[in-house]
Amino acid sequence: MKMYDLPDARGHFGPYGGVFVAETLVRALSELREAYEAVGQDAEFQAELAYELKHFVGRPSPIYFAKRLTEHAGGARIFLKREDLNHTGAHKVNNTVGQALLARRMGKKRIIAETGAGQHGVASATVAARYGMECIVYMGSEDVARQSPNVFRMKLLGATVVPVESGSKTLKDALNEAMRDWVTNVESTFYIIGTVAGPHPYPMMVRDFNSVVGKECVVQMPEMIGRQPDAVIACVGGGSNAMGIFYDYIPHEKTRLIGVEAGGDGVETGRHAAPLSAGTPGILHGNRTYLMQDEDGQIIETHSVSAGLDYPGVGPEHAWLKDSGRAEYVAATDDEALEAFHLLCRAEGIIPALESSHAVAHALKLAPTMDKDQVILVNLSGRGDKDLNTVSRLAGITL
């Protein structure tokens, strides 16, 4: 097999990706690309990033054998990559530390970010505080309401949270608004995109910063069990935690890569957020990828119990991995994710994020179809503290 070296110089993953933005942003994106290429070769930058990941984020994160979960599922052994143990509680901080260091290198003192569940907003506010930068976070007003603990955390960290009232008032609209801010303040401002979407170089850069997850696993799994897993499972909204764990496994062809999208009420109902499972290719937010859209090319509203997966697009590299067959994409419904959430709480003493619960849900489906000596590695991308209000409401528990 030819060595995997995507994207190409113009940011394309086969027919996907690219730079579909208004002219005003083109120069900012080429400056960003040049700055990012420069730090790739810069030993001092890489050493600083490694130091921050170790001492500020708390890496490497452990891999944990979920023994009781495995017994419950009956079949393949299930291991969890504990990204929930990172500082700020999710994989998102791997990327924000990287981009904030890059922003500092570029002399930008104001950072902006979009957020859905609030995890990326918290991770951005955290690094802004850490490096003494101004931070503005755009968040759909619907999400502000359903993720209030994270809104408070961002404010504690000194960030300004701007509720976005346009469109569907969720993640996609927050991204639109952040782009509008960036166009207006392009010289002073660094836009930290939180997922592997957006125009080139973001899908590549966010993947690279998150690829520390898979890099660790490729070393940790042989240490624990003497070999690589048979399957790696991760949830996919925009797809940053999935690309983070998949990327270093792409050359390990015996390892299946499985992305789990938000099935909402069920893919067949149309009320979901699963563009790879049930969408078609189009252009949104600066790149060509699979989208949830109607036949006239308008983006349609998505539905998921988890705000972090409630996005109508997906990173272009996932679109490419799907078409090329290297990765498989499935969906887990709200109910399946919630069931997995409660099960992981009780069986392992781990409260997972609702996003990550989608990956756990699929592991529970897949494990019984596999042999007991086979191994599934799940990226447990975040912890569930932020979801307590949502879950208690759905479970009828009064806090």
Partner 1 sequence: MSRIASAFARLKAERRAALIPFFTAGDPSIEATVPLMHTLVEAGADIIELGVPFSDPQADGPVIQRASERALARKVTLRKVLEMVTEFRRSNATTPVVLMGYANPIEAMGRQNFAALAHRAGVDGVLVVDIPPEESEDWVRTVKANELDPIFLLAPTSTEARVGQVARLASGFVYYVSLKGVTGAAHLDRSEVAERLPRLQAVIPLPVGVGFGIRDAASAAAVAAVADAVVVGSRIIQEIEGSTPETLHARILALVGELREAVDSARVV
- Footprint of partner 1 (CB under 8 A): 10, 18-24, 26-28, 166-167, 172-173, 176, 179-180, 183-187, 281-286, 288, 291, 293, 295-300
Give the number of other CB atoms < 10 A from CB of residue 110.
Answer: 17
Q: Which residues sit opposite 289 in a β-bridge?
A: 282
Q: Which three-class secondary structure state does DSSP give residue 13?
A: strand
* Catalytic status, residue 339: no
- Rounded to the nearest whole angstrom, what is the least distance from the CB of residue 354 to partner 1 in the complex? 25
Q: Which is nearer to partner 1, 129 or 283 (CB)?
A: 283
Q: Of the listed 52, 83, 114, 177, which one is catalytic? A: 114
Contact 114, 138 (CB under 8 A): yes
Q: Which DSSP letter does residue 292 get?
A: -
Residues 178 and 116: their CA atoms lie apart, in Å, by: 12
Q: Which is nearer to partner 1, 158 or 167 (CB)?
A: 167
Q: Which DSSP letter does residue 383 get?
A: B
- Take residue 355 and report the two structure tokens written for it: 């996003």
Residue with tokens 């979407």, as numbered in its chain: 197
The H-or-E segment that residue 333 falls in is strand 327-333
Q: Which residues sit opposite 204 in a β-bridge?
A: none
- Rounded to the nearest whole angstrom, what is the least distance from the CB of residue 4 to partner 1 in the complex? 23
Q: Of the listed 92, 169, 322, 386, which one is catalytic? A: 92
What phi and psi, each to the nearest 5 degrees, are found at residue 282?
-170, -170
- Rounded to the nearest whole angstrom, what is the least distance from the CB of residue 204 to partner 1 in the complex? 16
Q: Of the listed 61, 240, 306, 381, which one is catalytic? A: 381
- Rounded to the nearest whole angstrom, what is the least distance from the CB of residue 179 to partner 1 in the complex? 5
- Take residue 292 and report the two structure tokens written for it: 């949830």
Q: Which is nearer to partner 1, 177 or 348 (CB)?
A: 177
- Rounded to the nearest whole angstrom, what is the least distance from the CB of residue 205 to partner 1 in the complex? 18
* Catalytic status, residue 92: yes
Q: Which is nearer to partner 1, 311 or 341 (CB)?
A: 311
Q: Which is nearer to partner 1, 141 or 211 (CB)?
A: 141
Please list, in sequence order, all residues whose beta carbon lies within 8 angstroms of the beta carbon of residue 59, skipping any fewer than 6 positions away.
Answer: 53, 86, 94, 212, 216
- Rounded to the nearest whole angstrom, what is the least distance from the CB of residue 44 to partner 1 in the complex? 29
Amino acid present at 140: G
Q: Which is nearer to partner 1, 316 or 382 (CB)?
A: 316
* Catalytic status, residue 381: yes
Please list, in sequence order, all residues whose beta carbon lies within 8 angstroms of the beta carbon of residue 209, skipping any fewer than 6 positions away.
Answer: 94, 95, 97, 98, 99
Using alpha carbons, list the distances in angstroms from residue 145 to 92, 151, 273, 390: 21, 9, 19, 10
By annotation, the residues acting in catalysis are: 92, 114, 381
